Amino acid sequence: MAADRENERYDVIVIGAGVIGAAVGYELARRGRRTLNIDKLPAAGYGSTSNSCAIIRFSYSTYDGVAMSWEGQHYWANWRDHLGGDVDERGLARFIRCGTALLKKPGGHHEKVIPLLGELGIPFEDWSVEELVARFPAFDPSVFGPPKRPDDESFWAEPTERLLGAVWTADSGYISDPQLSAHNLQRAAEAVGGRFRFNTAVTAIERDGGRVIGVTVDGPDGPEVLSAPVVVNVAGPHSFVVNRMAGLEGTMKIATRALRHEVHHVASPPGVDYEATGCHLQDGDTGIYIRPEAGDNILIGSEDPECDPREWVDDPDHFDREITEDQWQAQVLRLARRMPDLGVPNRRRGVVDLYDVADDWIPIYDRTDLSGFYVAIGTSGNQYKNAGVAAHCMAELIEAVEAGHDHDAAPLTVEGRYTGLAIDLGSFSRNRDINERSSFSVNG
């Protein structure tokens, strides 16, 4: 970097270098913009991205959510081509297509999903409960729900009903190494002129009247001003902090907050090689999701059922990173109901991190009331899969608005690069009404 950093000028500054921030930097750099990604951590993807479950699935409850996730899958399926070749000395992250089984229960999430999959032409199979058991005999097809905690006296009640089956999407799965995928995007961006600064905290958003003009960062020799007419907030769980710096707190109908979340790892049951033969399972009946994990393990996450406490974090730099006994017991024992041969280990294993959650759990991809200042926020926990398409949408939005388009009055529609599907960015507006079709939960 140049010695006189106060003279550094860019076309776009992206705050954040997680998977979506790095993707936005790459997308804009490949369009010829002089970009700089700034991150307070030491490398790309070292924040919540590194602990993402990295699940690629299409089982959303809104049209634009399903369309975006289907388009997003094609970026991962064409990852090397999207990046411009073997750009990373560490290798490329792999897309492991293990498929998704969305369990069907009376009145379940599948009732919203199946019509949308059909409308968008996404391949799926509607399994009976017999087909589910034939494919995955380790699963008990009983109805155990609604979700409850182990200290509820009805948790171990004998089931009296069976599930209705499952919705199977073979084209879904997960990414082998989420942190590596962000590093891949960094290298791809650098190959087309994008720049990155790590271990650098943004301390102020610079503005002139009603327009952003850059940021101030904590440099090695004191505060430095970096100039740009466009700044994009992709700060993950710190997004509300950055919006506060920009004077935007309270200016959006939809807000974001940081939510502490635990994901746990357990060994596969005896005789089951879940890493090789398992799938991503969406089990709204017990309130968990699972997917294969390296070392013949199973990753378990919570779908945030009403019975689970939610721990909102006011300071995303300080939160409890230790796995709690109560949540460990809740998630592992829920899986033990679904997989009765599962051993419940005494030693707790897993990760704890923060999700950046919007009021209706749908992300915000939008401009703001501060001209030149854009947001891709409310994304962590469910939008990893959409990194490529979210970056494409943000680039299209920035180009249109900077050219004079009134996105608030006439929300932009973006055509998917791979599928050609129309994605209405109004669905991701900061000023939308709460979307009541949302599941108000997370699934990887």
pLDDT digits (tens, 9 = 90+) for 324-347: 999 999 999 999 999 999 988 889
Say yes or no to pLDDT of 438 above 80. no
CB of 48 closer than 8 Å to CB of 237: yes
pLDDT in tens, 38-63: 999 999 999 999 999 999 999 998 99
Number of domains in the chain: 2
74 and 16 assigned to the same domain: yes
Structure tokens at 203: 């301390």
Q: What is the pLDDT at residue 441? A: 55
Q: Both 199 and 134 in a single domain?
A: no
For 214-239, what is the mean pLDDT?
95
158 contact partners, CB below 8 Å, separation of at least 6: none
Residue 259: CA atoms inside 13 Å, Cβ hemisphere, count? 24
Average pLDDT over residues 232-257: 96
Residue 293 has a CB neighbour count (10 Å cut-off) of 23
Q: Which CATH number does the domain housing residue 134 bear?
A: 3.30.9.10
- Are both 350 and 315 inside the same structural domain? yes
Residue partners of 270: CB distance under 8 A and separation at least 6: 341, 343
Specify the 3-state DSSP secondary structure of 119.
helix
Same domain, 67 and 32: yes
Q: Within this chain, do residues 311 and 223 fall inside the same structural domain, yes or no?
A: no
Residue 380's pLDDT band (cuts 50, 70, 90): confident
Whether the pLDDT of residue 404 is over 60: the answer is yes
Structure confidence at residue 219 (pLDDT): 85
CA distance 396 to 263: 34
Average of per-residue pLDDT across 187-195: 98
Helices (H), 17-62: 19-30
Query: What is the share, in percent, of the chain residues with pLDDT greater than 70?
Result: 96
Q: Is the pLDDT of residue 409 over 70?
A: yes
CA-CA-CA-CA dihedral for 245, 407, 257, 436, to nearest 10:
160
Q: Write the pLDDT tens digit of every residue in 302-332.
A: 999 999 999 999 999 999 999 999 999 999 9
Is 50 exceeded by the pLDDT of residue 2?
Answer: no
Regarding whether 189 and 303 lie in a shared domain, the answer is: no
Strand partners for 259: 312, 355
The three state secondary structure string of 157-191 is CCCCCECCEEEEECCCEEECCHHHHHHHHHHHHHH
Poorest-pLDDT segment among 46-55, 75-84, 428-437: 428-437
Q: Do 344 and 371 fall into the same domain? A: no
* 250, part of any domain: yes
Same domain, 330 and 386: no
The mean per-residue pLDDT over the stretch 395-413 comes to: 98
Cα separation, 210 vs 207, in Å, equals 7
Helix axes of 387-402 and 19-30: crossing angle, nearest 10 degrees: 50
- pTM for the full predicted model: 0.95
Do both 270 and 350 map to the same domain? Answer: yes
pLDDT at 147 over 60: yes
Q: Answer for the pair 394, 376: CB distance below 8 angstroms, yes or no.
A: yes
Structure tokens given for 189: 């961006």
Strands 288-293 and 280-283: antiparallel
* pLDDT for residue 220: 86
pLDDT at 442: 59
The DSSP code for 322 is S
pLDDT category at 221 given cuts 50, 70, 90 is confident
H helix and E strand count, the chain:
10, 23
Is the bond preceding 269 in cis, omega lying within 30 degrees of 0? no
Domain that holds residue 367: 5-92+177-255+360-428
Q: Residues 57, 280: contact at Cβ < 8 Å?
A: yes
Let me know whether 85 and 11 are in one domain.
Answer: yes
Contact 15, 21 (CB under 8 A): yes
* pLDDT surpassing 90 at residue 436: no
Asked whether residue 229 carries a pLDDT value surpassing 50, the answer given is yes
